[in-house]
Amino acid sequence: MTQPSVHQLYKCLERVGKGSYGSVYKGVHLPTGNVVALKIIDLDTEDDDVAAIQSEVAFLTQLRDGPNITQYYGCYLDGPRVWIAMELAQGGSILSLMKASPNGCLEEKYVVVVSREVLDALRFLHKNNTIHRDLKAANVLVSGTGKVMLCDFGVSAVLSTSSSKRNTFIGTPYWMAPEVAKAATHSSYDTKADIWSVGIMLYEMIKGAPPNSHIMPEKVVQLIPTMKPPRLAEGEASKELREFSLLCLNEVPSERLTAEDLLKHKWITKSAKVPTTILKDLILRYDAWAKTGDGSAVDPQEPFPWEQCVFA
């Protein structure tokens, strides 16, 4: 029996974002009418690595039952293009939602819920010996109901055992752990690299940009191994958040807490009963901001300048 073509299964609508591999579009699953996300990669026009695409599909297949992981529905070939059908996050990315927030920063009551949900996803990934390797606000999505989802697994890596380490130089520079930045000189790293990135993402959500965002990425990579870890000032966040941040941004990887242990920190546990539906406030604020024309000069799906470089 002939399998239906991707065009018989899905209709592609408007573009809603761009990942490290390919553009993402809103689409419709024609048999059911369900709205989905379609990541479409044109192998003829983009410098995409087929092996990396296969890797992302393999990750999505393996992790489809994980908490707060973008749901994967299928992969299809369409001539030189690859279509990857996934769950659609109607609210967009945390980075996009930040653009409509005061001074481009998120209030702590939202930051703690996002952090809690990201850590829950990382707990699952790390127990399955997987490193995300590209954690940042642009790769954290919010559904229309406020559900938080990690996306963009194009640069993720599976460790053969829980004690294994990687020495591949990959990721987005500003969120890169010191040991990852040193991987070019044969340093190694493990899942604790993601914990450092959580700390940088915290800084990003509170301050509106990652540390050193004014410096060119090539220079940042050289500086990260020797710079002191970034710190939030007393007036920028609560004492609990600042303490939590210190635990993530420890220069010694082995001294960073695991995702599971970080979920037990008092800053996180205080928010245990706060539902993710609170994040719908951010979506409503973004929609109101977009309608006023305040964002008319900005494409909400385009990255900030520091988001445009991913090293692999």
C-alpha to C-alpha distance for 234 and 231, rounded to whole angstroms: 9
Number of H helices, E strands in the chain: 11, 10
Could you tell me which of 139, 122, 3 has the C-alpha nearest to residue 74? 3
78 phi-psi bin (left φ>0, alpha ψ -120 to 50, beta other): beta
Q: List, in sequence order, the alpha helices (H) in the chain.
A: 6-9, 50-62, 94-98, 108-127, 178-181, 192-207, 217-223, 239-248, 259-262, 266-269, 280-292
281 catalytic per annotation: no
Is residue 144 within 8 Å of residue 282, measured between CB atoms? no
Quick one: CA dihedral 155, 160, 166, 168, positive or negative?
Answer: negative
Give me the catalytic one of 134, 152, 190, 194. 134
**Residue 179 to residues 121, 122, 169, 213, 307: CA-CA distances in angstroms?**
22, 19, 9, 19, 21
| Residues designated catalytic | 134
